[in-house]
Structure 1
Amino acid sequence: MSLFEEWQDLIGNQTDESFPKFWENYSSTEKKIYSSILEHPTKKVCGSFEELVAKYDADPVIFMGFLDGIQSSLKKEQPIEKTDKSSQIELDIDLEKLYFNMLAADADYLYGLPQWETILSAEKREEITRNYKRSKTVIKEKTPGRNDLCPCGSGKKYKKCCGK
């Protein structure tokens, strides 16, 4: 079984009883890794999977979960489905995207890390927060009136086309 499959198995088989312990382990590991990464925000995280697991003192399956979670914040995604213990990992993180994704995950324990204050200005963090909130706003499109042109592009009135 691959590390990614082990991660999928671990996350998929949580019960109400096992989840709190799992979540404590996962979130504390994730916080430790992000704190370390954000201490040196311009430095790319590179090394073999095993080296990074040792560097961050993480369980290999939990570290795979971290890699799964950070994928959408990378400038170039990693092929984590094929990752094994000897795979080379290079994380080139888009920090603004990472902050946005932490907001989207409602991970206040991550977007509240003090390192963010030196990485992104208060104004930039507020702007990203506004953009995040705007992204959640649903805007209902105006439905066409009977005599409006049909939105399908036929050139006919809505009542004679799709509105029949």
Structure 2
Amino acid sequence: MALYEQWKNLAQMAQTPAQQQAFWDDYFSMETDVYEQILGDTSVSYEGTVKEVAEKVGMEPVVFCGFIDGINTSLKKEIDLDTLEEDTDIKLDIDFEKLYFNMHEAKAKWLYTLPQWDEVLPEERRSEITREWRASKQAVSEKTVGRNDPCPCGSGKKYKKCCGKNV
């Protein structure tokens, strides 16, 4: 079984809400440590096999796949998660501006407020990225159709009586 599949199974193993909360609290703590390490010295290269890079950041390879899943859209070249094995070669070539934006998107305040960001992106640029993220949220909310609005399909009916009745 591929590592990413093992990660998804591991993340779903906890049965009770308390077990789920404990699992994610542990994971987010490890994730924070890795980001502190990565942001603390951006000159370090994170490439090699999954197992080697996982060891470098202090994670087990299966758990590291969860980390890769979280950072994947912030990489200059995304990694095919479904094919990852311990001996798969990877490179975490991070687009730090995209990462900062995506941390806002994930509502990961504990990550985008890390003090290590001070050395990675100037405060002015971080503020600009935050404004860009907020603007992207407003643009989406403006396009939302309410139940009593005219249906965007052009039928002339209210959304709730037309395309919205199956929602």
Q: Flag whether TM exceeds 0.5 (same fold).
A: yes
TM-score (norm 2): 0.79
What corresponds to 1:145 in structure 2? none
Q: Which residue of 2 aligns with 1:80?
A: 81
Deviation at 1:41, TM superposition (A): 1.9
Q: Quick one: which amino acid aligns to residue 6 of structure 2?
A: E
Q: Distance in 2 between matches of 1:65 and 1:104?
A: 17
How far apart, CA to CA, are the structure 1 residues paired with 2:43 and 2:93?
9
Alpha-carbon distance between aligned partners in 1 of 2:143 and 2:35, rounded to the nearest angstrom: 38
Q: Secondary structure at the match of 1:131?
A: helix
Matches of 1:38 and 1:103 in 2, distance apart? 16
Consecutive unaligned residues of structure 2, counting only runs of 5 or more, are: 145-152, 158-167
Counterpart position of 2:142: 139
Kindly tell me the number of residue pairs found equivalent between the two proteins: 147
Deviations 1:115-155 (A, max 9, x none): 111111111111111111111112249xxxxxxxxxx9xxx
Structure 1 ranges of 4+ moved more than 6 A: none
Distance 1:23 1:98 in 2: 20
The alignment's TM-score, normalised by the length of structure 1, stands at 0.81
Shift of 1:54: 1.5
**Could you say what the CA RMSD is over the residues aligned between the two structures, in angstroms?**
2.1
Percent identical: 42
Shift of 1:23: 1.1
Q: How does 1:118-129 map to 2 (within 5 A)?
A: 118-129=119-130
- Give the 3-state SS of the residue equivalent to 1:89 in structure 2: strand
Alignment of 1:6 with 2:6, yes or no, is yes
Return the alpha-carbon distance in structure 2 between the equivalents of residues 78 and 131 of structure 1.
26
* Alignment check: 8 A CA contact 1:44 1:93 kept: no
**In the alignment, what sits opposite 2:92?**
91
Structure 1: state its 5+ residue gaps.
142-151, 153-157
The AA in structure 2 aligned to 1:6 is Q
- CA displacement at 1:163 relative to structure 2: 5.8
Aligned to 2:161: none
Match of residue 32 from structure 1: 33
Cα distance in 2 for residues equivalent to 1:66 and 1:163: 47
Please say which structure displays the higher CA radius of gyration. Answer: 1
